[in-house]
Amino acid sequence: MIKKGKKLYEGKAKILYAAPEKGTAIQHFKDDATAFNNQKKATIEGKGILNNRISEHILSSLNQIGIQTHLIKRINMREQLIKLVEIIPIEFVIRNIATGSLTKRLAIEEGTVLEKPLLEFCYKNDSLGDPLIAREHIYAFNYCDVTTLNFITKQCFRINDFLQGMFKGIGIKLVDFKLEFGIARKDQANSLNDKILLADEISPDTCRLWDSASEKKLDKDIFRKDLGSLIEGYQEVARRLDILHEQSNVRPIKFSRPTAVKIKKK
Ligand code: TMP
Ligand code: ASP
């Protein structure tokens, strides 16, 4: 068991604790859900467990195609051991289909399929409501340097390509999502690829995921817009990703018909 140290940081959906090994931390997924910059809040039992599993699966899959991430390993139902990074204060939003703030900001019709993926930068600052910023603001206020931003931009499009394909294979449209990156400690990193790590989480909290056929929402919009059971949506994503095997505290998915159990003959 990895001994949890003192609390380093508490965000809206996660807590970061110190871990025994230098340069590492424990990321704990809470059941808390917030929307519209904390104006709407709830505790949704089991959400943290599902996000821990889904994010572990997605970050490990990305690691297999050469994207370096902060994830070391999942250590229990709600926690993962991660490399401690200094988070770059930018939220990288990648959009494939117009919805959410994009449709409001520029009066783009909801559901418009974008000709090519659109990358937006938001300044990560809750009290300002994570405002949209331009590349020029990033340089002017030194949020990150040109080389780092160019590297991350390429990573964002690679991640989008991979995830779009992965979700398409399980009947889900990746509408948009948000990424965060961090800088690893210098003594752990030799190249840019070792230094700039994909951090935070990728889960239905940070993506918009629509069922390909029905366009039913399977992400945090269920909570934002009161569309029904958030847990059922997240469980559906986990089930399609084939990661709902182990016993969890989350109520099992309700199947409309009992599933047949095949008994192998010897
Ligand atoms: P938006 O349409 O509200 O700007 O959201 C774009 C995407 O970014 C959507 O997938 C949700 C995600 N997102 C976060 O993960 N955290 C946030 O704080 C915000 C505003 C959006
Ligand atoms: N994560 C942000 C909040 O908590 C915005 C959102 O996801 O809607 O308020």
DSSP per-residue letters across 196-249? EEEES--STTTEEEEETTT--B-STHHHHTT-S-HHHHHHHHHHHTT---S--S
* pLDDT tens, position by position, 167-208: 999 999 999 999 999 999 766 667 777 799 999 999 999 999
Ligand 2 centroid to residue 40 C-alpha, Å: 9
Q: What is the pLDDT at residue 193?
A: 75
pLDDT value at residue 216: 98
**What is the reported pTM?**
0.92
Mean pLDDT of 152-181: 98
Residues with CB under 6 A from ligand 1: 93, 100-102, 130, 176-178, 206-208
12 pocket-lining for ligand 2 (C-beta < 6 Å): yes
**Ligand approaching nearest to the C-alpha of 219:** 1
Checking if the pLDDT of 65 tops 90, the result is yes
Q: What is the pLDDT of residue 241?
A: 98
